[in-house]
Structure 1
Amino acid sequence: MNEKFFIAQIGRTVGLWGDLKFHLHTDFPEQFQVGHTYQSNRGELTISDINFKRGIVRFQGYESIDAAKKLTNTKLYADEAQTKELCNLEEGQHFWFDVIGCTVKQGDEVLGVVEDIQRLADVDYLSVKTDETLVGSGLAKNFLIPYIDRYVIDTDVAKKIVHTRDAKDILEAS
């Protein structure tokens, strides 16, 4: 599986030398460096200059305003391997693609499986597909768990398990 992840979008041109506004859609801005190449909906693009303070980027082969205009609204993507290579996780952090697919447990009870992760305001929420046995007992088919210490005890991506507390209360209230 070579899934691509949307990590940035290019905006309008700035100035005369091919600079473009740069809108990040990632928690890892350090991955964007001069010489790095990314997939886009317009082919591969290699960064020739980047200025995080001004929020602008320039790409090789697009160093004029006319050439750069062709990249307005282009989306940049990275695959799993590139993400793991260029992004540095801190202790206890996980990539979303490693958490998606994990079984959600409270104690020994399986509550469901993480289908997606959504960011609302500044909090990430696990979007959980409820286990069929719980759905059969009248509970909701899907529910959201805030990915915060209050509810998530531990995430073991190697075993594909998210251990929770009080998550069943959220499910029962859904």
Structure 2
Amino acid sequence: MQLVVARIGRAHGIKGEVTVEVRTDEPELRLAPGAVLATDPPSAGPLTIESGRVHSGRLLLRFEGVRDRNAAEALRNTLLIAEVDPDELPEEEDEYYDHQLIDLDVVTKDGETVGRISEISHLPTQDLFVVERPDGSEVFVPFVAQIVTEIDLENQRAVIDPPPGLVDDRAEIASSRDEDAGA
């Protein structure tokens, strides 16, 4: 199983270091010196991490064979991909790898089907489930404990308690506003 663990940003300095946007909860494991990572686009790699350090709150990496700013800049926007055993589980009880969540059915606490998780979007403040509805439309569900109340891997489902308007159809919302206005 392959997981995207980072995206390479701009070059830092003149000796081949790059900034990286970390996309894993385990950077010390996935982005450690000696780690060999596949890339997207594939023509950029594989890349072996030579060293890493934190500078001004950002992770900087240097790869074997990348010795100058031009070579580092050529890697900009490349995704770094780690090979992960599909049976491997995160260390914390309430943590999940993306591959465990993709394709889970999403249902409300009342049992109403919302759709299926098609993607996890990792944003700076929180993660979002991209849920594909049966009609092909998408809804974005914040992956926070107040909304996602249960992840049931055994039954392949995520149970949510959405606030009003999060997953309601626009027609239903308009209808309820019209009823409220007429009352």
TM-score, structure 1 length as denominator?
Answer: 0.73
1:124-143 correspondence to structure 2 within 5 Å: 124-132=127-135, 141-143=137-139
TM-score, structure 2 length as denominator?
Answer: 0.70
Rounded to whole Å, the distance in 2 between the matches of 1:131 and 1:161 is: 15
User: What letter corresponds to residue 140 of structure 2 in structure 1?
Assistant: L
- Give the Å deviation of 1:71: 3.2
Rounded to whole Å, the distance in 2 between the matches of 1:69 and 1:59 is: 13
- Give the Å deviation of 1:163: 1.0
- Name the structure 1 match of 2:20: 23
Rounded to whole Å, the distance in 2 between the matches of 1:49 and 1:120 is: 26
1:1-174 correspondence to structure 2 within 5 Å: 5=4, 7-15=6-14, 18-28=15-25, 29-30=27-28, 31-40=30-39, 41=41, 42-53=44-55, 55-62=59-66, 64-65=67-68, 69-74=70-75, 75-79=78-82, 81=84, 88-106=90-108, 107-132=110-135, 141-166=137-162, 170-172=166-168, 174=170
| RMSD of equivalent CA atoms | 3.0
Aligned structure 1 segments of 4 or more residues deviating by more than 6 angstroms: 82-85
| Cα deviations by residue, 1:132-157 (Å, 9 ceiling, x for unpaired) | 5xx9xxxxx33222211221111123
Rounded to whole Å, the distance in 1 between the matches of 2:74 and 2:87 is: 26
* Unaligned 5+ runs, structure 2: 171-183
* Unaligned 5+ runs, structure 1: 136-140
- Greater CA deviation, 45-54 or 3-12? 3-12
| Percent identity between the two aligned chains | 16
Rounded to whole Å, the distance in 2 between the matches of 1:33 and 1:83 is: 20
The question of whether the paired residues in 2 share the 8 Å contact of 1:6 and 1:25 is answered with: yes
How many residue pairs get aligned? The number is 160
The question of whether the paired residues in 1 share the 8 Å contact of 2:147 and 2:160 is answered with: yes
